[in-house]
Amino acid sequence: MSGEQSIKCYRCEVRESIVNLNGRKLCPICARNEINNAIRKNFLKSGLVDYESRFIILELNGLEGLSKIIEETLTKIAKKTTIYYQTFSLELSSQSVDSYIHDAIIRSLEICSKEKPNGVVMPFPAEIFMYLLISSAVSRDAGYLSLYTHYTKIGSCNFCFPLHNISLLNMEIVYGVESKFPVASFTHFLIWVKESLEGNQEILHSFHKSIELFATQRKCTRCGAFSESDICKRCRDVNRQ
């Protein structure tokens, strides 16, 4: 017989593998469990999960499928401790990745002031931050690399980023979700990542070490971006409009 020989799943050793996670070839079921566990750990590391915690999950245009994955994980966490969540859908700016994130933060703060949740959950995957890192090497603006974290507080609002170190491309394969990010430059970047890093996506779990090279000690008091002043250029520009 001709053709490539299938590779068995590293974990279960029974089913055929479909994706490479952290250097291990996994089947759909084991890969899904692996990603769900990673998301759960990120939630727990945020320090926001407590008895009767209430979360707001943002469903953002172009990343709707990722919000569903987050909901799946929170549902499992809720079986062990009483937590609540609700989803808010937002249609964000498609001008650039930075404007998309800025819009998400500012509008989340408005929701947070009204709803008063324990945390707002952002569905930004690892590729978003890799894109920002590469862009910052040219612009020298670290900006929203400040959000590469489990948790941050902006104003009086707690933000959680459970997908910050999880690959969008892997989630598309494992969960069958399709992302249609509204910023063309990021879509082109995803194509480049898929073609160039296929089989070696571990780089998505190591690039964060370079973020500290661009980080400043100060953050914008309004949107949480790395900034040389208390108010970043994006927020100043928005105020002028």
Q: Please state, in angstroms and rounded to a whole number, the distance separating the CA atoms of residues 55 and 173.
A: 27
pLDDT for 4: 54
Q: Is residue 52 in a domain?
A: yes
Q: Residue type for 29, please? A: I
Give the residue from 22, 32, 6, 30 showing the smallest Cα distance to 200.
22
pLDDT for 1: 40
pTM here is 0.89
pLDDT for 3: 46
Q: Is residue 108 in a domain?
A: yes
Number of domains in the chain: 1
Query: Residue 78: is its pLDDT beyond 90?
Result: no
- Answer with the residue of higher pLDDT: 200 or 232: 232
Q: Please state, in angstroms and rounded to a whole number, the distance separating the CA atoms of residues 152 and 241.
A: 28
Average pLDDT along the chain: 88
Q: Is residue 156 in a domain?
A: yes
Q: Is residue 237 in a domain?
A: no
Query: Residue 201: is its pLDDT beyond 80?
Result: no
Q: For 107-147, what is each residue's pLDDT tens digit?
A: 999 999 999 999 999 999 999 999 999 898 888 788 999 99
Q: Is residue 24 in a domain?
A: no
> Which CATH number covers residue 99?
3.40.50.620
What are 221's two structure tokens? Answer: 């008091």
**Model confidence at 209, in pLDDT bands (50, 70, 90)?**
confident
pLDDT for 202: 61
Give the residue from 155, 181, 214, 144 showing the smallest Cα distance to 64.
181
Q: What percent of the chain has pLDDT over 70?
A: 92
- Answer with the residue of higher pLDDT: 32 or 195: 32
- Answer with the residue of higher pLDDT: 40 or 22: 40
pLDDT for 168: 92
Query: Residue 2: is its pLDDT beyond 50?
Result: no
* pLDDT mean over 93-109: 93
* pLDDT mean over 80-86: 84
* pLDDT mean over 199-216: 69
Q: Is residue 35 in a domain?
A: yes
Range of the domain at 51: 30-215
Q: Is residue 220 in a domain?
A: no
Q: Please state, in angstroms and rounded to a whole number, the distance separating the CA atoms of residues 210 and 206.
A: 8
**Model confidence at 21, in pLDDT bands (50, 70, 90)?**
confident
Residue appearing with tokens 């020298």: 140
- The DSSP bridge partners found for residue 120 are 56, 159
